[in-house]
Chain A
Amino acid sequence: MDEPLLRMRNITKSFPGVLALKDVEFELHAGEIHAIIGENGAGKSTLMKVLLGIYQPDEGTIHLKGKPFHAKNPRNAQDQGISMIYQEFNLVPDLTVAENIFLAREQRRFHNLLIDDKAMLSETRKFIGSLGLDIDARLTINELSVAEKQMVEIIKALVVKSDILVLDEPTSALTEKEVQRLFSILERLKNEGVGIIYISHRMEELNTIADRVTVLRDGTFVATHEWKAVTVPNLIRMMIGRQLNDLFPYVPSKPGEVVFKAHNLNRSSFLKDVSLEARKGEILGLAGLMGAGRTEFARAVFGADRKDSGVIWMDGKEITTRSPHDAIRHGIAYLPEDRKKDGLFLELDIYDNILAGNLTQYSSKGIVNDSTCRAIVDKRIAELNVKTHSPRKIVKYLSGGNQQKVLLSRWFCKQAKLIIFDEPTRGIDVGAKSEIYQLMNKLKQAGAAIIMISSEMPEILGMSDRIAVMYEGRITGELTRAEATSEKVMALASNLAVKA
């Protein structure tokens, strides 16, 4: 074929402590739909952020239509012909559909002094009509459904004529019918010669629209193939394709009796009849793709979000968890996924962070016993090997691994019977990772039940005694450690029946 529309060569990008992309190659032709697939954290989004100018690459070149291309920011990229439709919405909730679509490129009248609302409105209606949609352009974004918001996001990218359109998981909020409509729009654009980059986890969708596919793994380029030339199991193998190494200090254990049981938990569209059990002295890995409902499950169990229905038992007794306070009283602990936002007090010191929520047990008649507290904090810091010269160090200055250990220290004070770890090693360097695993083992051997939510396949396979997999709010299957393979977990996580 002739000169490709877009060529990215040797793209390398590192962040402090992480090599996010290494020598990645990517080519896109005019009039093709090119899928990019890979596990969470494989580098798909980072690669697109480099293309859009959100990140500047450390190394590598980008050519658009044969000429060197460089974007300062997404707006600048759009002006040069590359538009992106984001997974999360970038819409202003209090403005109307029309105003959002023309945001920062408003049509003007009266010597450019006034905004021409009428022209923008009729233009927007024309677009909505041409896409066969039925959205009132005068409504504010607040008043739209999630799917409608997604459509507005798409229209916003189409208003500007682009050579390349990037879509990152565009269908996660859409219904079957809307997905079909989106696909017909994409087909039309493709026939007009637009190059489309399509990031998705959903193999069945890619089956219908992808022309070619590029696989990334751990920030490296694996392969580019014609879609017709590969099979889905093959692709899954390419996405995972690595050996479990001895990074995971798994210790076998004999699980005891059932400590925790959840039956038919429901919460709007996030959780659908989720039932799970956890036993004393086991690590139950909870796998699934982003947005599969794992965090929502944990938060519902922990009383952080309300649930619509469902029953929870601890030690055979039915309990109600209306707040985290309730859940903790019943022996449940939860280490949130976003530790900076939901776990730590970044402006406070290690001492206060470890003791938060624990002061009652180190006080009498409401008065804190300072010497007990100091002793406990010193003990935890030593026990969990938090690297600091003083317990008075402000937590925001600690590394990710040390922050996670501080958070763990807080929960160590509570002697929980069930501990839910949500992405326990995200953003943590390898050394600290293995320390965290050892701490989990310690808790497990001491008889705690552990539910480990993780998006990292090796971690799930390496640490779990048993694995449950979720897909779109449901449990799609359970595997024992012996029968679990990455292919099987991946298949359940994308709800595909894979032949053995």
Chain B
Amino acid sequence: MDKTRIGNTKLQLNTSLMQKVTASIALLLMILFFSIVSPYFFKVNNLLTIALQTSITAITAYGMIFVIISAGVDLSIGSNIAFTGIMVALMLKNGFPIWLAMILCLVVGITAGMVNGILISKMKLPAFIATLGMQMVLRGLALVVTDARPVYLDNAPQFKQIAQAKLFNTIPFPVLYMIVLGFGAAFLLRKTVIGRNVFAVGSNEESARLSGIDTEKVRIFAFMFSGLMAAIAGLILTSRVNSGQPTIAVGYEANAIAASVIGGASMRGGHGSISGAILGAFILGVLMNGLNLLNVSQNWQVFASGFVVIFAVYLDKVRTSRN
């Protein structure tokens, strides 16, 4: 019987809301800071560049957040991006119509996610191990089928439009994808039965099972969605570099996890939101961009992102333990 139970009922602002407020303030402060120290920062073009650079992180984080809320983690995202990219490049090279190649790639990404989900829910492997294995399997496959060489897209000029085209000649298409998919993912998470069940499973799996939720199905779904988002990111990235690169996107899962937890997701499951993930992705994106403009080396940028992740989660811990 702990004595701390009584007397803390008043200050119960929604925790994830609080985290989002903190993250928003942090983001605004960062924007303010970089606007002051660099004359190039607060320009339309630069802001669009940030949005473009953030889009891949945000889209993969949409998938990751489902997995994290279900109390799992998906380490196979980077490899999934590379593998689906290779697949679409190879198919286009062999004369597949663009629409068919893209659909097949999405299927590949979803299937990888489904295998993750089955390993974890039915065969009871820890998510960390199962998706780490999948990370290596997919990366290995990408290297094997390409013989570790890039696949250049010379014969599908329209395909590069997918990521390189701009709306009204200003807004890059990936930014639009990020926005549309963001609304879609938030709808799926908050408004559908399966999305809401993800919270229940992540919060207490046994309670979820005993209240009649098909917990295995929910888990598999979360990983399939993560695979789908990775595949979409794979298509965008392949289109941007106009080639399939077997060694691309190494470590992208770390960005997705970082964005999620900065935005208030708990690795213990049950908490997290799409808006939080977007905020987290932008905090990382603004940081990278700002440091770039200040001529800080790439290596120090990585260091700084790591620092932000640790600091953000620590802040959250301090606040929740005081609660």
Give the interface segment out of B6-14, B38-46, B104-112, B296-304: B6-14
B12 in contact with A394 (CB, 8 Å): yes
- A288 on interface, CB distance cutoff 8 Å: no
- B155 on interface, CB distance cutoff 8 Å: no
A357 in contact with B9 (CB, 8 Å): no
B197 in contact with A343 (CB, 8 Å): no
- A99 on interface, CB distance cutoff 8 Å: no
Inter-chain CA distance A355–B197, complex, in Å, is 10
- A302 on interface, CB distance cutoff 8 Å: yes
Give the interface segment out of A82-90, A227-235, A258-266, A358-366: A358-366
Minimum CB–CB distance for B16 against chain A, Å: 10
Which residues on B sit within 8 Å (CB–CB) of A156?
none
B270 in contact with A357 (CB, 8 Å): no
Give the interface segment out of B92-100, B116-124, B187-195, B229-237: B187-195
Inter-chain CA distance A71–B47, complex, in Å, is 66
Contact (A347, B270) CB under 8 Å given A359-B196, A360-B193: yes
Partner of A357, one of B14, B192, B211: B211
- For the A-B complex, the count of residue pairs with Cβ-Cβ distances under 8 Å equals 88
Contact (A344, B212) CB under 8 Å given A16-B1, A368-B192, A393-B12: no
- Determine the residue in chain B with the shortest Cβ distance to A345: B203
A302 in contact with B207 (CB, 8 Å): no
Which residues on A sit within 8 Å (CB–CB) of B204?
341, 344-346
- Determine the residue in chain B with the shortest Cβ distance to A388: B9
- Determine the residue in chain A with the shortest Cβ distance to B208: A356
A368 in contact with B1 (CB, 8 Å): no
A325 in contact with B213 (CB, 8 Å): yes
Inter-chain CA distance A393–B212, complex, in Å, is 23
- B23 on interface, CB distance cutoff 8 Å: no
Inter-chain CA distance A343–B200, complex, in Å, is 11
B270 in contact with A356 (CB, 8 Å): no
B200 in contact with A304 (CB, 8 Å): no
Minimum CB–CB distance for A397 against chain B, Å: 5
Interface residues in A302-328 by Cβ distance below 8 A to B read 302, 304, 323-325, 328
- Determine the residue in chain A with the shortest Cβ distance to B3: A16
Inter-chain CA distance A282–B209, complex, in Å, is 27
A347 in contact with B271 (CB, 8 Å): yes
Inter-chain CA distance A352–B69, complex, in Å, is 14
Minimum CB–CB distance for B20 against chain A, Å: 16
Which residues on A sit within 8 Å (CB–CB) of B159?
none
Inter-chain CA distance A346–B15, complex, in Å, is 14
Inter-chain CA distance A343–B210, complex, in Å, is 7
Minimum CB–CB distance for A103 against chain B, Å: 27
Inter-chain CA distance A367–B189, complex, in Å, is 10
- B223 on interface, CB distance cutoff 8 Å: no
B210 in contact with A324 (CB, 8 Å): yes
- B252 on interface, CB distance cutoff 8 Å: no
- A246 on interface, CB distance cutoff 8 Å: no
Minimum CB–CB distance for A20 against chain B, Å: 10
- A430 on interface, CB distance cutoff 8 Å: no
A325 in contact with B199 (CB, 8 Å): no
Partner of A367, one of B1, B192, B203, B212: B192
Interface size class of B (residues with CB under 8 A): 20 to 34
Contact (A359, B199) CB under 8 Å given A16-B6, A323-B209: no
Which residues on A sit within 8 Å (CB–CB) of B209?
304, 323-324
- Determine the residue in chain A with the shortest Cβ distance to B266: A347
Inter-chain CA distance A397–B11, complex, in Å, is 11
Inter-chain CA distance A61–B200, complex, in Å, is 48
Q: Mark A404-417, 1 if CB is under 8 A from B, else 0.
A: 00000010001000
Interface residues in B179-228 by Cβ distance below 8 A to A read 191-194, 196-197, 199-200, 203-204, 206-214
- A336 on interface, CB distance cutoff 8 Å: yes
B203 in contact with A325 (CB, 8 Å): no
- A237 on interface, CB distance cutoff 8 Å: no
Count chain B CB atoms within 10 A of each CB in A334, A343, A345, A352 and give the residue with the most.
A345
Q: Mark B261-290, 1 if CB is under 8 A from A, else 0.
A: 000000000110000000000000000000
A347 in contact with B203 (CB, 8 Å): yes
Inter-chain CA distance A370–B14, complex, in Å, is 19
- Determine the residue in chain B with the shortest Cβ distance to A348: B203
A342 in contact with B214 (CB, 8 Å): no
B14 in contact with A392 (CB, 8 Å): yes
Inter-chain CA distance A344–B211, complex, in Å, is 9
Minimum CB–CB distance for A297 against chain B, Å: 15
Partner of A368, one of B5, B6, B193, B213: B193
- Determine the residue in chain B with the shortest Cβ distance to A326: B212
A342 in contact with B12 (CB, 8 Å): no
Inter-chain CA distance A331–B203, complex, in Å, is 25
Minimum CB–CB distance for B153 against chain A, Å: 37
Minimum CB–CB distance for B207 against chain A, Å: 5
Minimum CB–CB distance for A348 against chain B, Å: 5
Contact (A397, B207) CB under 8 Å given A324-B212, A356-B200: no
- A110 on interface, CB distance cutoff 8 Å: no
Minimum CB–CB distance for B124 against chain A, Å: 15
B212 in contact with A359 (CB, 8 Å): no
Which residues on B sit within 8 Å (CB–CB) of A394?
12
A348 in contact with B270 (CB, 8 Å): yes
A368 in contact with B196 (CB, 8 Å): yes
Which residues on B sit within 8 Å (CB–CB) of A359?
193, 196-197
Inter-chain CA distance A346–B209, complex, in Å, is 15
A356 in contact with B211 (CB, 8 Å): yes
Which residues on A sit within 8 Å (CB–CB) of B210?
302, 304, 324, 334, 336, 342-343
Inter-chain CA distance A304–B200, complex, in Å, is 17
Partner of A352, one of B9, B193, B200: B200
Minimum CB–CB distance for B66 against chain A, Å: 15
A345 in contact with B207 (CB, 8 Å): yes
Which residues on A sit within 8 Å (CB–CB) of B12?
393-394, 397
- Determine the residue in chain B with the shortest Cβ distance to A15: B1
Minimum CB–CB distance for A274 against chain B, Å: 20
Which residues on A sit within 8 Å (CB–CB) of B196?
352, 355, 359, 368
B203 in contact with A357 (CB, 8 Å): no
Inter-chain CA distance A410–B8, complex, in Å, is 26
Inter-chain CA distance A341–B194, complex, in Å, is 22
Q: Mark A287-303, 1 if CB is under 8 A from B, else 0.
A: 00000000000000010
Q: List 13 A-B contacts (CB under 8 A).
A: A324-B209, A334-B210, A336-B210, A343-B207, A343-B210, A343-B211, A346-B203, A356-B208, A357-B208, A359-B193, A367-B191, A367-B192, A370-B191
Extra 4 A-B pairs, beta carbons < 8 Å, given A16-B1, A345-B208: A302-B210, A336-B210, A345-B199, A345-B207
Which residues of A line the B interface, CB within 8 A? 15-16, 302, 304, 323-325, 328, 334, 336, 341-348, 352, 355-360, 363, 366-368, 370, 392-394, 397, 410, 414
